[in-house]
Amino acid sequence: MFVLSMRILLGLPAVEHHGPERCLTSRTRSEKECSMPPELFGGLAAGARAAQRARWRSWPTVSLSIAAHFAVLVLVFVIPLAAEVPLPEPVPLRPMQVILAHAVPQMPQPPSQARTALTPSHDYAPTEAPRTIAPERPQEPAPTSDVPVEGALPAGFGDLGAIPLRIEGPPAPPAPAPKPAAPVRISTGMKGPQKIVDVKPVYPALARAAHVEGVVILDAVLGIDGRVDQVRVLRSVPLLDQAAIDAVRQWRYTPTLLSGEPVRVLMTITINFKLE
């Protein structure tokens, strides 16, 4: 049946006519099939031809249906997409006006005519000689006053341009004071200092309570007037150094002389702290 349907759709004869030899040699077909009447095959062929004609008649309808569906798709999808794209607005064309400027040539100005005034000339010789000639009178000098002017220079002082001018600037700064000479150690050939004011050091109460004893050695610089200018600790004893420095700063000495001139000297001072 499947083969028969395919042959009908393709427009071929429904049954192939075989000769009596094929019917006799076919093993799968029975004698009943080979002996079927030809009217049956003619009816099947007529039905196949009618189906083929109906199929060919339906092609215009199918074509119209496809065209209608395609038109619907165009209306649904293509036209909205084309409508969403905005078209650019046309740019209005403005009329262009061209103005041509022509340079006006300048006319040359006529040269100015200078007007000269004509003055009468009197340079001519007299025709008649004068009868009397008036004598010439000497011109009188201008009157001068002998009133002295305040701030005026006396007569005969000379040319004012020869007066020298002197501009004084700011006064020069005072010269810096000379730095004191470096102190020197006391040596032979010098008149050594003599103590004239002696102050005993005060034993600190804390050092006394702690039973602290010792020797403090100081370096002292004596000025040219015999006063103690600087003090430096060479050997230290805790709790006793400041008491020794305070006492030495109050000492006074006679000036130290070198070749008859007072000088600064450096001397070493030893102070012994001992509990009684």
pLDDT tens digits, residue range 36-75? 455 544 555 566 676 666 666 666 677 788 888 888 787 7
Neighbours of 256 (CB within 10 A): 23
Last residue of a domain, one of 41, 70, 99: 70
Among the candidates 35, 70, 105, a domain finishes at: 70
pLDDT tens track for 224-276? 999 999 999 999 999 999 999 999 999 999 999 998 899 999 999 999 999 98
Alpha carbon separation from 121 to 115, 118, 127, 128, 129 (Å, rounded): 18, 9, 16, 19, 20
pLDDT of res. 69: 80
**Is residue 131 situated within a structural domain?**
no
- Give CA–CA dist 207/216, Å, rounded: 14
Decide if 210 is inside a domain.
yes
252 within domain boundaries: yes
Contact 51, 8 (CB under 8 A): yes
Split at pLDDT 50, 70, 90, the class of 144 is: low
Q: What domain range includes position 8? A: 2-70
pLDDT, position 70: 81
CATH of residue 245's domain is: 3.30.2420.10
pLDDT score, position 2: 47
Rounded Cα gap, residues 217 and 153, in angstroms: 80
192/58: higher pLDDT: 192
CB 239 within 8 A of CB 206: yes
The Cβ of residue 253 has, within 10 Å, a number of other Cβ atoms equal to: 20
Q: If DSSP codes are grouped into helix, strand and coil, which group holds residue 32? A: helix
197 domain residue, yes or no: yes
Q: Which of 70, 87, 118 is the last residue of a domain?
A: 70
**Structural domains counted in the chain:** 2
Residue 151 included in any domain = no
85 within a domain of the structure (yes/no): no
The string of pLDDT tens digits covering residues 208-237 is 999 999 999 999 999 999 999 999 999 999
- pTM of the entire structure? 0.37
Nearest Cα neighbor of 265 from 234, 222, 233 is: 222
- Would residue 134 count as lying in a domain? no
Instruction: Indicate whether 233 belongs to any domain.
Output: yes
